[in-house]
Amino acid sequence: MRGSRARLAAALGAALLAVAACDRKVEPYVPNEQASQPDLRKIFPRGAEPAERPSGVMGQTGRDASPPAPGEAATAAVAIRGRVSLAPELAQRAPSGAVLFLVARRGASGPPVAVKRIDSPTFPATFEIGPDDRMIQTVPFEGPLLLMARLDADGNASTRSAGDVQGVASREASPGAQDVEIVLDEVL
């Protein structure tokens, strides 16, 4: 009997310790409860969310109505502006409904800092790429940046099909640069 009391006390002590040590706030099971999206703001810092943009609309940032972060309003003035033209000998290669992708990266390789999608462009196409076009909102839009453009027939940024036309700016540009010229002159 003495041994069973010791085992019972040990079991109760272990159970009590397990309950006291658990700091998770487990809510009771509710049958037929509808699942909801988790609040990811607790995990990811402000600005890590992807920017939503309407496709093919230039001049709109697509940002939500939430108030801008401190200093964010001032970043609109540091966009890079320029023009993309199609080499005359390749004018017949521009399929209707093609998409123009404008990519800004640090150096000739590496991940893009910012990307702009322009649906059904007419050439010469003027562009503006800036902080609102960043791939990851926490990555600073600072230069120098190499700008590349690709006229993509299938509209998928991750594929490069034979017949797509691309070009690279002749020089790197820093935020605030004007009159950057990109000529689409290379056929893939």
Q: Which residues constitute the domain of residue 150? A: 51-58+77-187
Residue 109 lies in a domain: yes
Q: What is the pLDDT of residue 46?
A: 63
Residue 175 has pLDDT above 60, yes or no: yes
Q: What is the pLDDT of residue 27?
A: 74
Residue 90 CA to residue 123 CA, distance in Å, equals: 12
Question: For 121-131, how does the pLDDT look when each residue is reduced to its tens digit (9 = 90+)?
Answer: 888 999 999 99
Residue 25 lies in a domain: no
- Strands 112-119 and 165-168, bridge-based pairing: unpaired
**Max mean pLDDT range (53-62, 94-103, 120-129):** 120-129
Residue 172 lies in a domain: yes
Residue 88 lies in a domain: yes
Residue 171 lies in a domain: yes
Q: Domain containing 173 — which CATH number?
A: 2.60.40
What is the average pLDDT value for the chain, to the nearest integer?
A: 77
Residue 29 lies in a domain: no
Residue 95 lies in a domain: yes
Out of 60-74, 142-156, 157-171, least confident range: 60-74
Residue 68 lies in a domain: no
Q: Domain tally for the chain?
A: 1
